[in-house]
Amino acid sequence: MSVLRTPDNRFDNLPDFPYEPQYVDLDGIRMAYVEAGPADGEPVLLLHGEPSWSFLYRKVIPVLADAGLRAIAPDLIGFGRSDKPATRAEHSYARHVEWVRGFAFDKLGLTGVTLVGQDWGGLIGLRLVAEHPDRFARVVAANTGLPTGDQPMPDIWWQFRKVVETAPELEVSRLVQMGCLSELTAEALAAYDAPFPDQSYLAGVRAMPTLVPTTPDDPATGANRAAWTELSRWDRPFLVAFSDQDPITAAMAPVLRSLVPGAAGIDHPVIEAAGHFLQEDAGERLGTVVAEFVRSTVATASQPGQHPTE
């Protein structure tokens, strides 16, 4: 695998993101992450999506840390400070699931995890929850889903995919800004562009939309259908915390609330005045929602029901 590594100096002077990066080696490819909060706090795994990186969680992390939680935010392979396979062909849905699995379980040895997954962070994270339910205490799904290709994707998503696939020059900061209601500062925009010194580093960004299952015969459809079967039995706490203005994933919120048993009887918040990247538009609010969810479900999560795969 041909791999590119973004120079460290690209990440100098990041606004409101003082966390020292840490790294794990996944069979020769380096994955970066940051963490904050007490080392013995309940772990909260913050998974970002396309085309962002852990910087997206800079408003969420301090809220969780102040609540006594161990906030862990990795950069997906191909994004942020993590290594970047140089060709689109090196990226697959299964490979991204395996990279995050290896990071969270083999390298960090996490158990009792609260997943917070947004965008691809949910596509990957919900697969991990279904395939390794014993590792997770609870789930927060935020502007995400688990597509199988059986239902059509919204037109706005197809427009996004076409741009990302075909544009001769991609500006990641512009893509992030398009998914926000608030206007990002010049410093924040620069931080989103930092991982990509030139267009050769963007194979992961360009590949990810093509990996979303859009037909029933997609390579990932079988695994995602199997994951839905497991999620339909998931009785640990499951919070659906979507924003009020995300046209890409809005239709998934009622599906998750109705099909996952662990979502029953929970007051699912709507994060107001926020777009697709709700961490940017309402990060502190999302952090508070997650912290309160963990605090209110400690007893329930510590005595979970058994699942067939355990």
Catalytic residue set: 119, 246, 276
Which secondary structure element, helix H or strand E, spans residue 130, and what is its range? Answer: helix 120-131
Rounded to an integer, what distance in angstroms lies between the CA atom of residue 180 and that of residue 94?
Answer: 29
Cβ count within 10 A of residue 218: 18
Which residue do the tokens 């140089």 mark? 86
Q: Which residue has the tokens 């290709």?
A: 149
115 in the Ramachandran plot: left (φ > 0), alpha (ψ -120 to 50) or beta? beta
Closest CA to 237 of 95, 133, 140, 142: 140
Q: Which residues contact 71 (CB under 8 A, 6 or more apart)?
A: 35, 36, 37, 44, 46, 57, 60, 61, 64, 65
Q: SS3 of 209, please? A: helix
Strands 29-36 and 70-74 turn out to be antiparallel
Q: Which residues contact 189 (CB under 8 A, 6 or more apart)?
A: 173, 176, 177
